[in-house]
Structure 1
Amino acid sequence: MDSISRTLPASWFCSPALYQLERRAVFLRSWHFLGPVTRFQNRKETIIYEIAQVTIIVENTSPESAGITSEGIIVYAKDKTRQIKYHLTPSGLLFSTLSLDTPPFEEYFAGLEALTNTVDFTKLPHRRSISYTGRFNWKTMIDGFQECLHCQYTHPTFSKFYPPTFYSVTNHQTFSQHIADPSKPSDGLFLYFFPICTLNVYGGGMSSFRTCPAPEPGMSRMEFDYYHNGTEEEFEEYFKFVRQVAVEDFELCEKAQQGLEGGVYGEGILNPVKENGVLFYQRRVRECVYKQFEVEKREKEVREEEDKVAVNGLEVGDGGVVAVQ
């Protein structure tokens, strides 16, 4: 069978060295979704994010009278020596980089704004954010989000509203759109932004999560943001529903990571239709890491060659090392 249909080996979910390479190859070269402008509606609150050990800060400096707009929102790295870029879509979604080693937003997320511009993300106010640590690699969580084969058995409540029989994933350059029913593409908006962010609009509200990697490859920090325009009672009902799905996924991921680290699972085959979302993102991870490895390998070879030239240009004499004329 074609090798591209195979999963990433278990070592990619467990190796500290691979994570560090992944950090340079993937995270420092990607755009990351931070939230809609309503996440920053409180002018007195500074929002702090940490992604792949880089801290970035978002502030809304616009006057309260300006309402919820993109004006006045600024993003910067906590490390003043690190330069980053950020972008606000016309629909009100904020994205940021962790470095300058990224292509322009329009190039990285080609075609995304044509999709997100169909929704006004300034209408749903931010209601709650939660964060906690999980014992799993960031890719273990993305594996689960990018397919719905497990939904019927793991998410019975969700499956009542969105039967997995019809579930499909359409992949683009750096994002995926999940469609619960292909005959009703406007029923819910489920988006995955490579590498670790999601945006889900369904059930009368909106939620997003980031799976932030820890330096230890078997750990991640889950960050959830919830938005809703209803009453407190209506929001709590929505929150209970979406949290149930998240808790079910969390438990599944911790069990899966145990299997990866314990040698129970090494590598497997992915269904090119039902698991095309997993194929898409894992392939991109593999391509980014391989490319970075080759770049760093060439840089190392150049340095070693320069060191050889420098050594060959020296001669050891009684008085020490002198240059050969």
Structure 2
Amino acid sequence: MDSLTRTLPASWFCSPALYQLERRAVFLKSWHLLGPVTRFQSRSETVVYEIAQVTLLVENRSPESEGVDRDGIVVYAQEEGREIKSYITPSGLVFATLSLDTPSFEEFFSGLEELVNKVDFTKLPHRRSLSYEGRFNWKTMIDGFQECLHCQYTHPTFSKYYPPTFYSVTNHANFSQHMADPSKPSDGLFLYFFPICTLNVYGGGMSSFRTLPTTEPGVARMEFDYYHSGSDEEFEEYFRFVRQVALEDFELCEMAQRNLERGVYGEGILNPLKENGVAFYQQRVRALVRGEWDKVKREREKGSVKVEAREVGMEEGKAIAVL
């Protein structure tokens, strides 16, 4: 049993101090999916993103007559003096960082382009976006996305098209590919981008969501984008289908978070086959957060980090309790 991977303790889903470490160690050092280039085709609209309390702005500055265009897309931080990096894949996906403390795109997502370049993301127009808060930690939602043990009883409609019997997750460098049927790798593209973004191409359309942390550990903001090239009627049918799945997950996550906060669930063991996607991302979070805390302790021992420790918001006793 000692060799099996254990879940993150419940404290990691409820602690404000832990979130401050996550913000520095995970969010500020990751690449985040903003969407395909079709999300930014309105020359009159500035698309605003807030990720871990950093605001990013995206504009398309190319001439209107050029139609779908990627060369005019500009991503920048709202905060004056904050430098970021952005990247557009050959297939048309736009990614950005929250700071310069991030590896190159190719290093962070090694092997991703070979997979996503099989899809032309410039062919699906943006149809609708939604944003609302849920009473759960960002990791609670990612837990659910990264496994499908719950799919058969929580998502009966989805399970008709993608039976969980053959469902598998393959983990790569900071991303995971979900396959409903490993013998049909082209039937639906389901991707998770560490730490908070997903991309799902199935049912005739494409959707993506971001699970965005707030300063309150038990609250996350969900942002959804939907793309479809069909008629209005065809889009609405697709939209109803994917929204049903999203709402089922939303309810499940709020109930799970309540159990975490009440102490009903503390810590457990992950199934090495059916929950390998959860183990993959949780181990990444654990390693990065512990590395950041070790860095803070080393700097504190040098006598030069009183401000740093205050920014982290974690005293020694709290660190021992949650790490």
**Pair in the same fold by TM > 0.5:** yes
Which stretch shows the higher mean deviation, 295-304 or 17-26? Answer: 295-304
C-alpha distance 4-69 of structure 1, shift in aligned 2 (>3 A): farther
Normalised TM-score (structure 2): 0.93
Query: Letter of the aligned partner of 2:198 in structure 1?
Result: T
Query: Letter of the aligned partner of 1:81 in structure 2?
Result: G
Provide the residue aligned with 1:127 in structure 2. 127
Query: Letter of the aligned partner of 2:29 in structure 1?
Result: R
C-alpha distance 253-288 of structure 1, shift in aligned 2 (>3 A): same
Provide the residue aligned with 1:22 in structure 2. 22
Q: Which whole-Å CA distance do the structure 2 matches of 1:293 and 1:14 have between them?
A: 17
Q: Which whole-Å CA distance do the structure 2 matches of 1:207 and 1:305 have between them?
A: 43
Runs of 4+ in 1 over 6 A off after TM superposition: none
Structure 1 unpaired stretches of 5+: 307-325
Contact (CA 8 Å) 2:171, 2:277: kept in 1 or not? yes
Superposition CA RMSD, Å: 1.2
Provide the residue aligned with 1:70 in structure 2. 70
Provide the residue aligned with 2:190 in structure 1. 190
Provide the residue aligned with 1:309 in structure 2. none
Q: Which whole-Å CA distance do the structure 2 matches of 1:154 and 1:257 have between them?
A: 17
Q: Which whole-Å CA distance do the structure 2 matches of 1:53 and 1:278 have between them?
A: 25
Q: Which whole-Å CA distance do the structure 2 matches of 1:305 and 1:172 have between them?
A: 35
Q: Deviations over 1:40-77 (max 9, x none)?
A: 01111110000000000000001111121211100000
SS in 2 for 1:211: strand
Q: Which whole-Å CA distance do the structure 1 matches of 2:125 and 2:144 have between them?
A: 28
Q: Deviations over 1:217-257 (max 9, x none)?
A: 00000000000000000000000000000000000000000
Provide the residue aligned with 2:243 in structure 1. 243
Q: Which has the larger radius of gyration?
A: 1
Q: Which whole-Å CA distance do the structure 1 matches of 2:274 and 2:19 have between them?
A: 27
Contact (CA 8 Å) 1:32, 1:96: kept in 2 or not? yes
SS in 2 for 1:278: helix
Contact (CA 8 Å) 1:196, 1:212: kept in 2 or not? yes
Q: Which whole-Å CA distance do the structure 2 matches of 1:2 and 1:12 have between them?
A: 21
Q: Deviations over 1:91-130 (max 9, x none)?
A: 0000000001100000000000000000000000000000
Provide the residue aligned with 2:314 in structure 1. none
Provide the residue aligned with 2:272 in structure 1. 272
Q: In the alignment, is residue 216 of structure 1 matched against residue 219 of structure 2?
A: no
Query: Letter of the aligned partner of 1:252 in structure 2?
Result: L
Query: Residues 1-325 of structure 1: matches in 2 within 5 Å?
Result: 1-2=1-2, 5-303=5-303
Q: Which whole-Å CA distance do the structure 2 matches of 1:248 and 1:302 have between them?
A: 50
SS in 2 for 1:303: coil
Query: Letter of the aligned partner of 2:185 in structure 1?
Result: P
SS in 2 for 1:242: helix
Structure 2 unpaired stretches of 5+: 307-323
Q: Deviations over 1:136-184 (max 9, x none)?
A: 0000000000000000000000000000001000000100000010000
